[in-house]
Amino acid sequence: MSAMRIAITGSAGLIGTALVRSLRDGGPSRAEGSGGGHEVVRLVRRQPRAADEVAWDPVRQHVDAAGIAGCEAVVHLAAAGVGDRYWTPAYRKEVWDSRVLGTAAIAEAVASLDTPPRVLVSASGVGFYGDTGDRLTDESAPPGEGFMADLCQAWEEAAAPAQEAGIRTVFTRSAPVIARKGGAWGRRLFPIFKFGLGGRLGDGRQYWSLIALDDEVAAIRHILDTEELSGPVNCTIPEQLTNREVTAAMGRVLHRPTAFAVPAPVLRFTLREFAEDILASKRVVPAKLLKTGFSFAYPTVESALRAALR
């Protein structure tokens, strides 16, 4: 990929920070000839304080379109974290609006440009599929049921203005990202397991789709490089393990016991609706990434865990 001007929302988040660093300085892009040196424009929800910052307000659905003019690609990652806070009705609305209103604002802004970007990469999640049970699920599967499935469907539909404008639009249906700092793993799971308090959630038989941070960033860059990719792209590692098996891998990597378990009723009481997403099975495979030649640096859960802790 030759050097491009790329706009990014959510650049201060876990994935955004790593992606900005990779695009500017080189890093986990595995396509031949794809290094760093890209110009990155960061969309911020405050008054811009640097030359590379452009203002936007997802709630008011305002984007400084002039600031992203000339960008050949836009990567939209900004959204309120689903596991960051207790799910009150107000936070549930914030989770929804941050995705749907924000995506609509970005899609309308890029569609309005005289010279729109060639590609819009817009975040989504494996929650789109609902509870997959034991079924291997690729990008051809229909949406599932439940709040997260409804949210992901509305999130993707909000990008319609970009698609209608002829912009190649890709939805990264990402699994939870394994990272040492940030995200659910860095803030919650790793500390709990390090203290020897980790264990399965519910009966532990639900599948957990996951991905290493390095591979998530590399997948986004692969999508930017690969013209044939459009629509949904699952960003998950190829190996599919149950929560019980992931728990055992955490114990091996951290050399800690994993005897504790959190019963499903306790999760539902403490996490409300978010508990259903944790207890639901997500056996999602990255069919499109593999078909287009993407190579995972960490294709197993254990290798992703070890990479995060290195």
Closest C-alpha to 221, from 235, 242, 239, 207:
235
What local confidence, expressed as pLDDT, does residue 33 receive? 47
Query: Is pLDDT above 90 for 206?
Result: yes
Residue 235, strand partner residues: 174
For the residues 63-82, what does the mean pLDDT come to? 94
Domain membership of residue 63 as a residue range: 5-177+210-236+283-297
CATH value at residue 91: 3.40.50.720
Query: Is pLDDT above 70 for 309?
Result: yes
Tell me if 192 is assigned to some domain: no
Predicted model pTM: 0.94
pLDDT, tens digit, 9 for 90 and up, residues 223-241? 999 999 999 999 999 999 9
Residue 56, strand partner residues: 63
DSSP H stretches of helix in the chain: 14-25, 65-68, 89-112, 147-157, 160-164, 183-184, 190-194, 213-225, 243-254, 264-271, 273-279, 287-291, 301-309
Tell me if 197 is assigned to some domain: no
Long-range CB contacts for residues 16-19, cutoff 8 Å, separation at least 24: 16/77, 16/78, 18/213, 18/214, 18/216, 18/217, 19/75, 19/77, 19/217, 19/220, 19/221
Query: Is pLDDT above 60 for 139?
Result: yes
Tell me if 310 is assigned to some domain: no
For the residues 103-128, what does the mean pLDDT come to? 97
Residue 8 to residues 28, 29, 53: CA-CA distances in angstroms?
17, 17, 10
pLDDT, tens digit, 9 for 90 and up, residues 232-288? 999 999 999 999 999 999 999 999 999 888 887 766 766 666 677 778 999 999 999
Tell me if 29 is assigned to some domain: yes
Tell me if 9 is assigned to some domain: yes
Tell me if 84 is assigned to some domain: yes
Tell me if 69 is assigned to some domain: yes
Q: How many domains does the chain have?
A: 1
